[in-house]
Amino acid sequence: MPYIPHTEHDIQTMLETIGVTGIQELFDEIPKALRIESLEGIPEGLGEMDVSRLMLEKAAQDRRGVCFIGAGAYEHHIPAAVWDIASRGEFMTAYTPYQAEASQGTLQLLYEYQTMMAHLLSMDVSNASLYDGASALAEAVLMAVRANRHSHSKRILVLGSLHPHYLQTVQSIVRAQQIEIEVIPFSAQQGTVDPATLAAYDQQDITALVIPQPNFFGGLEAVDALTQWAHAHKALTIAVVNPVAMAVLKEPGQWGDSGADIACGEGQPLGIPLSSGGPYFGFITCKQEYVRQMPGRIIGCTVDSNGKRGFSLTLQAREQHIRRSKATSNICTNQGLAVTAATIFMSLIGFDGLKKVAENCYANTHRLESLLTQISGVERLFTGPYFHEVALRLPCKVEPVLQQLLAADIQGGIDISPYYDSLKQENALLVCATETKTDADLVYFAEQLKRALHSTV
Amino acid sequence: MPYIPHTEHDIQTMLETIGVTGIQELFDEIPKALRIESLEGIPEGLGEMDVSRLMLEKAAQDRRGVCFIGAGAYEHHIPAAVWDIASRGEFMTAYTPYQAEASQGTLQLLYEYQTMMAHLLSMDVSNASLYDGASALAEAVLMAVRANRHSHSKRILVLGSLHPHYLQTVQSIVRAQQIEIEVIPFSAQQGTVDPATLAAYDQQDITALVIPQPNFFGGLEAVDALTQWAHAHKALTIAVVNPVAMAVLKEPGQWGDSGADIACGEGQPLGIPLSSGGPYFGFITCKQEYVRQMPGRIIGCTVDSNGKRGFSLTLQAREQHIRRSKATSNICTNQGLAVTAATIFMSLIGFDGLKKVAENCYANTHRLESLLTQISGVERLFTGPYFHEVALRLPCKVEPVLQQLLAADIQGGIDISPYYDSLKQENALLVCATETKTDADLVYFAEQLKRALHSTV
Amino acid sequence: MKLIFEISQRHRHAAVQAPRPTDISLDIPKELRRTSEPQWPEVSELQVVRHYTQLSLRNFSIDTNFYPLGSCTMKYNPRGVHKLAMTREFLQRHPLAPVEQSQGFLSCAYDLQQMLASICGMAAVSLTPMAGAQGEFAGVAMIRAYHQDRGDHGRTEILCPDAAHGTNPASAVMCGYTVKELPTGADGNTDLERLKAMVGPQTAGIMLTNPSTLGVFDQNIKEVARIVHEAGGLLYYDGANLNAILGKVRPGDMGFDVIHLNLHKTFATPHGGGGPGSGPVGVSQRLKPYLPIPMVTRDEQGYRWLTEQDCPKTIGRLSTFMGNAGIVLRAYIYCRLLGKDGLHRVGEFATLNANYLMVKLQQAGFTLAYPQRRASHEFIITLAKQAKNLGVNAMDFAKRLLDYGVHAPTTYFPLLIPECLLIEPTETESKEELDRFIDIMIALLDEAQNTPETLKNAPHSLPVRRLDDVKAARELNLTWQPGE
Amino acid sequence: MKLIFEISQRHRHAAVQAPRPTDISLDIPKELRRTSEPQWPEVSELQVVRHYTQLSLRNFSIDTNFYPLGSCTMKYNPRGVHKLAMTREFLQRHPLAPVEQSQGFLSCAYDLQQMLASICGMAAVSLTPMAGAQGEFAGVAMIRAYHQDRGDHGRTEILCPDAAHGTNPASAVMCGYTVKELPTGADGNTDLERLKAMVGPQTAGIMLTNPSTLGVFDQNIKEVARIVHEAGGLLYYDGANLNAILGKVRPGDMGFDVIHLNLHKTFATPHGGGGPGSGPVGVSQRLKPYLPIPMVTRDEQGYRWLTEQDCPKTIGRLSTFMGNAGIVLRAYIYCRLLGKDGLHRVGEFATLNANYLMVKLQQAGFTLAYPQRRASHEFIITLAKQAKNLGVNAMDFAKRLLDYGVHAPTTYFPLLIPECLLIEPTETESKEELDRFIDIMIALLDEAQNTPETLKNAPHSLPVRRLDDVKAARELNLTWQPGE
Ligand SMILES: Cc1ncc(COP(=O)(O)O)c(C=O)c1O
Ligand SMILES: Cc1ncc(COP(=O)(O)O)c(C=O)c1O
C-alpha cells in the first residue's frame, strides 16, 4: 500500500490488541448515514514512474523563453547550494521549533535570518517570516493600527504607486476591522507621489503612511520627505521594499530623521524561485518599541540550564496558540523553508554580491529601456529615476504585441493599463531585466519588439 | 576568489608566518625554466549563473524523444528518494572509508550492498564495486586465472553472444598478461551458443568459460549445460548477468550442479541514470573459496573494543595500497556513490518490485516485437526466448531508418550489423523497451517505423 | 555552535555567486541611495555549506525521528512529490506568465480544485490561502460576506469550542467578529444544550473540527449543524484533522458550509521547520460567489484564471499572486500517486495506528482523556496524576522523550485537558515504531517513579539542555550585534 | 544501528515504486527461470529514507568536517558543478544515443580534452579511464604499445619510487611489467646515481609523481627525464598531485610522455565514500596513436566519436561506453567556473595552506620529514619520536583527531617514513580552520605526554570505538545471513 507500512500480519495483531474485528469498526462512532465507502472524482492511483511522466509532460507545456516580467516576482540567480542545503531532510521535514532543544538548527538559522534582515533594512528587529509580500503589508497595517497610540482613526494612506495586488490584498484582509485605506494618486508625469499631495491630509488623524520603494513602476519615491511628513503628523511610516534594491537604495531605517517604523516586503528575490508565485515569504521588521505588536514567530537568544547559548521562540504571548482571540495575528504556519533558503542565499551572496546583483539589474533594465525607446513610437511612460523595472508607452495595444513576442519565445512584460483608470488609454507596458539577462537577450527583445510593432501598427 | 576563502589579511599573516614575501616564493624549488605564468587555452572564469545558462543550453541540444536503445544501458524508473538520499553531503563528500570509526555510515551501507548482491545472484560474497560491467568482466577473467589452480593455460572461452564492447574491454585489459581469449561463435539461427559447440575444446586446458545471460541480443543461453561443461573440464564459470533480469532468470549460483564460480555484470539498471554511460558500477560476486582472489574493496562485519558491532574494510592484503605489485588488482577509487544509490534503490524496490520491473520489461519488449514484426519486411533475426531486448532484421539498411525515426523523436535502437562479420549483410536492429514505455509509445514506434520503411525501401 | 556572523571575515566572499561588476554608474539621486553596509556575514561557499549542514544536524525531523505530534500530522511526505514539484519548468514559471505558456501548471491547479471539492463534499474550492490560518480567515470572511450580502447585519459572533486551535478565534477576530467559547461535554462531544443556549440572531457561524482536537468524532454533528443553521449561522470546518477521515466521511455531508484544508498536513508537504503550507478553502453552493481569487477555470481555449472580473462578489485577493503554488502542485501530485484507494486508506491507517497506540498506552498505565471513546487519528493522555503524585509534568515527559530520539507529542493543548499529551502517530509509521514508542513511554513511567530528576532535568543528550524561556522573553535578544 | 534486513517485514514494500503487474505470462523455459527469492529487505519508503539518512549521519565528510587527508585532495567541490551535471537531459542521455542528439554533451567532452591537454602540456587527451588506477593502466599500456610498435621487445621493467602510490606498481604489473623500486634520496628528490644504475635497455619507463607523495617537488626532474629518455624509456606522470602545481608548471614541460589526472581530486568531483572518479590520460605527440577509445573529435558536421576505425593503434576500449561521463561533465563545468585565473590560483593556495600548516606544526614541536624543504600542497610529519618515547603512534593520533571532529591525515603512507602523517589541507580551507587544527594537534601532543591512554583508546565519541580489524579478516563475515 502506498506509503503505508502495515503488513496483513501487523493489521491483524493491531486489531486484536484493540479488540475489534476490522478497521471499519474503528469508525463506528461516526453516524452510519454520514459514512462513505469510496472517494468519487479521484482517479486511480499511479506509480511514481507514471506520475513522473505525467508531470514532465505538464512541465513541458510551461516551457518558456526569456522572461522580462517583474511586477513583484523577479528572476535571479540562485546558487545551487541554497536549495541543496535547504532541502536536507533535517530542515525540510522538521516541524515548527516549539521543542526548542530538538530544533536548535532551525532556531539558530532563524535568529541569523532575523539579524540579516534587520541589518539589511537598518531596523531593530525582524520576525521569522510572514506569508508573502502583499499579506505582510496587510499585517504591517494591522500592526500599525495597534501600535500607533496617537491615532484613533484607523486611517491608512497608501501611495497609489503601490503594487495593485498589494493594495487589493491589504483591502481584503483589513476590510472587516473598520480600517480605512486611502490611496494617494501618483503624478501622471513622474509615476511617483509628489510629497506635496499629502498636504491635503495635514489636518487629519492618519494612522500610517505606506511607502513602496521602488514602486510598482520601478520608480523611486521621495522617501525622506514622505517619512518626515508622516512623523510630523504622528502617523507611522510603513516601508514596502524590494530587498535586492536595498543594496543600493536608502534603507527604511534611514528614511527621514528617524527612519521608517515598520518595513516589510517580499522575500522572493533572496533565493526563492519564481515557481508560479509561491511559496515565497514576507518579511517584516520594526523599531524595537513596536516589537510586542509584531505578528508571527520571533526567535530569541537565551541560555540553557548550563548557561550555554541557545535559541527559542519568544514573545509567544503575542501569538494565537497562547493569546487566541487577542493575538497580534492569526498566523501559525509561516514560510520556514523559504526563509531557510533565503538565509543560506544571503550568506552565500554576501552584501557585496547583493550589491553587484542590484547594479546588474539596474544596468540591464536601463540598457533595455534605451534599446526599446530607440524604436519609434516606444517611449517612457514616466520620467524620473527607476531601479530595475520601467514602464513604457507603446504606440498600440499591448496585448497583441505580447502575443507576438511570445511566438518569438519572449515573455515581454505585462500590460499595466488595466490596473489604473489613468492608464487605460496609455498602452502601458511594464518590463524588467534582472542580472540574469545577457546583452544578447536585450538586443533580441528589442529586435523582436520592433518587428512585432511593425506588423501590428 | 572562487572557492578560496583567503582574505588579503590572511594571506599576509600566513606569508609572514612562513617567512616568505609572496606566494611565488613557495614555488622556488621548482626550476625557473619550468614555471609558467598562466594557463593558456582555458577561457576566463564564469560565474555560476553564466555557467548554468551555458550548461542548460548544452543540455537542450541533447533533448531526445523516446529511447528504445538498450545494448548494455537501460532506462528504468529511479525513485526520487534514491538520489535525494545518496546525494546527501555525508555520503557524497566522504572519502573512502579507511578510517572505519568515522565511516560507519558508508561501511554499513556497503555491507548491506554486498549482502543484497550476493543474495540476488545466490553467490557467497560480493565486493564493494568495480568500475563498470565490461571492466568487471575483465577483472573476473584475471581473477579466474589466479583462482583456477587446475588450469595453467590462461585460456578463456567467451560466448560470441557477449556484448561486443565487453569483449573489446576484456581484450584491452588482459592483453598484456598472456591471457588468450577464444570466442565461441553463436548459432546464426538462434543467436545463442549451442553447448555442443564446446565439444571442440573437450581436450584442451581451459581456465574459464564466460557466459552472458541474457546475451547481447537479449537471448537466453543454456546456462546449465554450459556451466556443466565448464566444471566437467575443470574450467571456472564466469557469469555476466543483468541484475534486473535476475528477478526472473535463474541466478548464477544455481547454474548447473554447483553454480557459477564468479558472477559479475553492470549495476546500472539498479537505480543509476543513463548519463552518457557513467558513472555506473560493476558488480562482482564469487564463491567463498575464491574470496581471497577478489579484486577491489570488501567490507567485513566485526566488533569494536566494547564488543559492539561495527564494519570495516577487510582482506586489505589483497589490495594495492598494502600489496602493491602483488595486489589482486590495481583498483583503488571505485564507484562508491553509485553503489550507495543502488543500495537505496534495491531497498526501495524490493525483490517483489524488481520482479515487476523485469516482467514489464519482458512484456513491453515482446509486445513491441509483435507490433514491429507485423510490418512487412520486419522479422526476428533469431528464434528462441529473449528477455528485454530483441534483434530484428529490417528490409533495408538500418542507419537511414534510424535517422528517419530520429526526426519523429524516436531513438529506435542500434544498428548491430557492423559488430559481426556474420551480420554484415543482415540489416540487424537491436531494440529494447523497458518498463518505462507505455503502450502508446510502442504503437507510435511501430507506426513511425512503418512510415520510415515505406519511404526508404 | 558559532553564529555565521562569528565565522565571518572582512572581505571574504563566495565569489562565483555574484555577477560581474557593471561599468554603468547608478544615476540615482544621492538622497535615495544607501550609504552604509549592513553587518552581513562574509564567508566562503564551503563555510556556508558546512555551517548550515552542521546546523541541520541540530534538528529533529521526520527523516530522522518519530514525531507523534498531535494536530500536526507529521507523516512521511513522499520524496517523489517534492522532486516533481521542483521540476525546472515549474520553478521557472513566472506567476504572471501568459496562460498560453502555463497550461501545465494551470491544469494541475484546476484538477486539484476539483479533487479537493469532491474529497470534502463541497461545491467549489479556491487554492489561494497560504496556510490553514489564512484559509480560516478566508472562510470566515466568506461567512461575513454572505450575511452582509443578504443584508443580515446583526450577526456579530462566531462560536468556537474551548478545544479549538488558537488560530480559530484569532481568525474570527481578524474578520471583525466577537468570539464566544463553547464548552465541550464530558464525553468530548459538543454540549448541545449549551450550544442551543448560545446561538441566536447574533450568531454568524461556528468553527469546528471533527474529529475534534480532543481526538474524538463529534457524534452530535448533524444535530449541531441543524441547530446552527436554524439559528441562521453557518458552519466552518477546520480541516487540520482531515487526515483522520479522508475517504470515510465528508465535511460537506456533515452539514458544513465552508472548510479549509491544510495541504501541509494531509497532502504531502513537509513542514519545513515551520512552513510553507497551503490552506485551500472549499464551500457549499451558497458561498461560492465569495471565494477568494484567483482561481482556475477551463473553457474551450484551455485553462485560464478567474479574477475579480469573473467573480464580482469575491472576498478578494489574499496574496500577491495565487498563494503557495508549489504546495498546490505537491498536493496534486500526491493525489495522483495515491488515487482514490490510496487516499481512502490514509484515514483508515491513521486511525488504526492511533487506536493501537491508545490501547497499548492505557494497558501500560497511562490515563486517557476519553477512555470511553475511539481515538480518531489522535488521542490524548493526561499526566495529571503523575504531576500531582510525583511532581513530574507533561513538559518533563516531553523533554525526556527527546533524549530517546522521539519528538515530543503536542503538550498542553487542548487547554481544557490538564497536563496532556496529544498523540498522533500517522499512517506512515510502522507497528515496530509504535511498539518502540510504547516501550519508551513505559521506561519513562518507570523513571518518573524512581528517578524523577532524570525527567525534570531532561533533555540530557541534546545540543542544549532545557532552555531559559523566561530570560529569552525578559532580556530580548532578537538580533545579533557585532562585538557581542 | 540495525541493518536494513533487521527492520524488514515479510510482505512490506514501498508500493508506488514498482510498475503495475503485467498480464503477459513469461514464455521462458522452466530451466532458465529463477525459483527462489533472495533475502532482500522488505521495507516502507519512510523506513528506507530514515535508515539511510541515519546511516549518513555516521560518516565524516567534507560538508561536515575538515579533512587534511594527504594525497586525496579533499577539497570543497562546488555544489553548482554537481547540480548542473545532474541536469535532467544529461542524466537521460543514452550512451549510444545518436550524435545528432548529443552535441551538447559531446562538445563538453571535446572542450575538456583540449583544456586538460593544455593544462598538462600534452598533445592529446582521452577521457575514458574511470579512475586514477585505470588511467595508470592506460598510460603504461600505451608505453608498452609504443615500444612494441617500434619492435622494441626487450623492455620488461617499469621503475617506481619507493614512495609511489600502490596503484603505480599494481598497474604496471597488470600491463605485464616487472616493477623495480627506486629509492628516494635523503632530500626527498630522486637519487640520480641509483637511477642511472637502474635504467637500461630493459627499462620501459618510470612512473613518478611530482611533487611526490613525500610532499616535495623533485628538483632533479629534468635530469631524471634525460636519464630515462636516454635509456630509451618513457616517463609516466601520476597526476594525483596535480592540485599542487595547477597553472604553475606542466608535466609535459618537465619531460613526461604520459599523464593521468584524477578528476575526483583536482577537478571537482566529491569522493562519494570511495568513488566514482575519472582518470583521463594525456600524452605527448609520440604516444597519441595509442590513446584509448572512444574520444571526441570535431569536424564540419559537428562533434562525433573517434573509435577503433579512426585510431587503429589504440590500446582499445576500457569500459562499456566512454567511462565516467558524468565526472567528465563535472570537470568541464569546474574548469569553466574557475577559468584560467581560478585554476592558476588553486595550486597557489593549496601550497600556501600546506606551508603555513607545516611551519606552524613545526613550531608546535612536531617533527617534519623534510624540514629543509618547502611543502608542496602536502607535507609529512613523523611521530617516530612519540612512538618510541611515549608509546603513542601515528594511528593513535589519527583516531584521537576523530574525537575532535577532524578527519585523520593519511597514515603510514608513504611507507618509507616511519609513523608518518601525510597532511594536505587544500586551498578551500580557511586560515581559521587551519588554526583550529593546529590547536587540536597541540592538545594531542599534550595528551600524548600526560594521558597517553586517551589517545591509545581513541576514538571515544564516535558511533563505535576502535574496531577489531583482525577479527574482521579472520572470521570473515561479508554477507548478512537471515537469523543472524
Ligand atoms: C487544528 C488546527 N487548526 C488550524 C491550524 C492552523 O493551520 P496553519 O498552521 O496552516 O495556519 C492548525 C495547525 O497548526 C491546527 O492544528
Ligand atoms: C598518488 C596517487 N596515485 C594514484 C592514485 C589512484 O587513483 P584512483 O584512486 O583514482 O584510482 C591515488 C589515489 O588514491 C593517489 O593518491
Residue pair A434/A361 in contact by the 8 Å Cβ criterion: yes
Residue D213 Cα: closest atom of ligand 2: 1
Q: What distance in Å separates the CA atoms of residue A334 and residue A342, rounded to the nearest whole number?
A: 14
Residue B333 Cα: closest atom of ligand 2: 9
Cell numbers standing for residue C313: 462578489
Above 90 in pLDDT, residue A324?
A: no
Which residues in chain D touch residue B244, judged by CB atoms under 8 angstroms apart? Answer: none
Residue pair C265/C243 in contact by the 8 Å Cβ criterion: yes
Above 80 in pLDDT, residue A83?
A: yes
Instruction: Give B237's strand partners.
Output: B209
Which residues in chain D touch residue C49, judged by CB atoms under 8 angstroms apart? Answer: 63, 76, 79
Q: C70 CB under 6 A from ligand 1?
A: no
* % of residues, chain D, pLDDT over 70: 100
Residues framing ligand 2 (Cβ under 6 A): B 332-333; D 71, 131-133, 165, 167, 209, 213, 238, 240, 262, 277, 279
For residue range B109-157, list pLDDT tens digits in order.
999 999 999 999 999 999 999 999 999 999 999 999 999 999 999 999 9
* CB nearest D79 (choices: A10, A49, A84): A84
- C424–chain D Cβ distance below 8 A for any pair: no
Nearest partner of A142 among A174, A116, A101, A180, judged by Cα: A174
Nearest partner of C185 among C177, C196, C176, C194, judged by Cα: C194
Cell numbers standing for residue C379: 488521542
For residue range D471-484, list pLDDT tens digits in order.
999 999 999 998 76
Amino acid letter, residue C375: A
- C78–chain D Cβ distance below 8 A for any pair: yes
Above 80 in pLDDT, residue A63?
A: no
- Most D CBs within 10 A among C11, C46, C406, C431, hence the mutation to make, goes to C46
pLDDT tier at A6 (50, 70, 90 boundaries)? very high
Nearest partner of B87 among D53, C77, A105, judged by Cα: D53
Report the pLDDT value the prediction gives residue B63, as an integer from 0 to 100. 74
Residue pair C77/A48 in contact by the 8 Å Cβ criterion: no
Helix B164-174 crosses helix B133-147 at what angle (to 10 degrees)? 50
- Decide if B251 and D34 are in contact by the 8 Å CB cutoff: yes
Cell numbers standing for residue B270: 539498479
Instruction: Look at the domain A80-345 and name its fold.
Output: Aspartate Aminotransferase; domain 2 (3.40.640)
Above 80 in pLDDT, residue D72?
A: yes
Burial of A183 (0-12, 13-18, 19+ CB in 10 A): middle
- Decide if D16 and C337 are in contact by the 8 Å CB cutoff: yes
Q: B93: distance to nearest CA of chain D, Å?
A: 5
Q: B311: helix, coil or strand?
A: strand
HEC secondary structure over chain A: CCCCCCCHHHHHHHHHHHCCCCHHHHHCCCCHHHECCCCCCCCCCCCHHHHHHHHHHHHHHCCCCEECCCCCCCCCCCCHHHHHHHCCHHHHCCCCCCCHHHEHHHHHHHHHHHHHHHHHHCCCEECCCECCHHHHHHHHHHHHHHHCCCCCCCEEEEECCCCHHHHHHHHHHHHHHCCEEEEECCCCCCCCCCHHHHHHHCCCCCCEEEEEECCCCCECCCHHHHHHHHHHCCCEEEEEECCCHHHCECCHHHCCCCCCCEEEEECCCCCCCCHHHCCCCEEEEECHHHHHHCCCCEEEEEEECCCCEEEEEECHHHCHHHHHHHCCCCCCCCCHHHHHHHHHHHHHHHHHHHHHHHHHHHHHHHHHHHHHCCCCCCEECCCCCECCEEEEECCCCHHHHHHHHHHCCEECCEECHHHCHHHCCCCEEEEECCCCCCHHHHHHHHHHHHHHHHHHC
Report the pLDDT value the prediction gives residue D484, as an integer from 0 to 100. 66
Nearest partner of A248 among A365, A358, A386, A120, judged by Cα: A358
Q: State residue D382 phi and psi, 5-degree precision.
A: -120, 135
User: What is the DSSP code (8-state) at residue B123?
Assistant: -
Strands B155-159 and B180-184, bridge-based pairing? parallel
Report the pLDDT value the prediction gives residue B325, as an integer from 0 to 100. 85
**Interchain CB contacts (distance < 8 Å): A and B:** 25
| For ligand 1, atom 15: residue with the closest CA | C240
For residue range B299-346, list pLDDT tens digits in order.
999 999 999 999 999 999 888 888 888 899 999 999 999 999 999 999
Q: State residue B346 phi and psi, 5-degree precision.
A: -65, -35
CA dihedral B64, B65, B71, B72 (to 10 degrees): 60
What average pLDDT values come out for chain C (484 residues) when binned by 10 residues? Answer: 97 93 91 96 98 98 98 96 97 96 97 98 98 98 98 97 95 97 94 96 97 95 97 97 94 98 96 97 98 97 96 98 98 98 96 98 98 97 96 97 98 94 98 98 97 97 97 96 82
pLDDT tier at B457 (50, 70, 90 boundaries)? low
Above 80 in pLDDT, residue A456?
A: no
Nearest Cα residue in chain B from C43: B5
Report the pLDDT value the prediction gives residue A455, as an integer from 0 to 100. 83
End-to-end CA distance of chain C: 15
Report the pLDDT value the prediction gives residue B323, as an integer from 0 to 100. 86
* CB nearest D33 (choices: B30, B43, B248): B248
pLDDT tier at B10 (50, 70, 90 boundaries)? very high
Instruction: Give D157's strand partners.
Output: D178, D203
Mean pLDDT of A388-409: 97
Which residues in chain B touch residue C19, judged by CB atoms under 8 angstroms apart? Answer: 47, 49
ipTM > 0.95?
yes
pLDDT tier at D459 (50, 70, 90 boundaries)? very high
| Interacting residues of C252 by C-beta distance below 8 A, sequence separation 6+ | C120, C121, C122, C259, C282, C284
Mean pLDDT of chain B: 97
For residue range A91-150, list pLDDT tens digits in order.
999 999 999 999 999 999 999 999 999 999 999 999 999 999 999 999 999 999 999 999
Give the Cα-Cα-Cα angle A301, A302, A308 (nearest 5 degrees): 115
Mean pLDDT of D14-18: 93
Nearest Cα residue in chain D from C46: D76
Q: What distance in Å separates the CA atoms of residue C345 and residue A1, rounded to the nearest whole number?
A: 8
Cell numbers standing for residue A63: 516551457
- Domain boundaries of chain D, sorted by first residue: 80-338
Thinking of the domain C80-338, which architecture would CATH place it in?
3-Layer(aba) Sandwich (3.40)
Mean pLDDT of A338-365: 98
Report the pLDDT value the prediction gives residue D25, as an integer from 0 to 100. 87
Neighbour subunits, C (≥3 Cβ pairs < 8 A):
A, B, D
Q: C33: helix, coil or strand?
A: strand
Report the pLDDT value the prediction gives residue C484, as an integer from 0 to 100. 66
Mean pLDDT of B30-34: 95
pTM for the full predicted model: 0.98
Above 70 in pLDDT, residue D448?
A: yes
Report the pLDDT value the prediction gives residue A320, as an integer from 0 to 100. 87
Cell numbers standing for residue A440: 544578447
- Decide if D336 and B54 are in contact by the 8 Å CB cutoff: yes
User: What is the DSSP code (8-state) at residue C3?
Assistant: -
Question: D402 in the Ramachandran plot: left (φ > 0), alpha (ψ -120 to 50) or beta?
Answer: alpha
| Interacting residues of D269 by C-beta distance below 8 A, sequence separation 6+ | D77, D263, D276, D277, D278, D327, D330, D331
Q: What distance in Å separates the CA atoms of residue B190 and residue B215, rounded to the nearest whole number?
A: 12
Which residues in chain B touch residue C47, judged by CB atoms under 8 angstroms apart? Answer: 5
Report the pLDDT value the prediction gives residue A457, as an integer from 0 to 100. 61
Residue pair D376/D427 in contact by the 8 Å Cβ criterion: no
For residue range D37-61, list pLDDT tens digits in order.
999 999 999 999 999 999 999 999 9
Instruction: Look at the domain A66-73+350-456 and name its fold.
Output: Aspartate Aminotransferase, domain 1 (3.90.1150)
Peptide bond into A214 cis (omega under 30): yes
* CB nearest C16 (choices: B2, B5, B81): B2
**Interchain CB contacts (distance < 8 Å): A and C:** 697
Q: C183: helix, coil or strand?
A: coil
Q: What distance in Å separates the CA atoms of residue B114 and residue B126, rounded to the nearest whole number?
A: 5
Mean pLDDT of B249-256: 98
Maximum distance among all Cα pairs of chain C, rounded to whole angstroms: 76
| Interacting residues of C300 by C-beta distance below 8 A, sequence separation 6+ | none
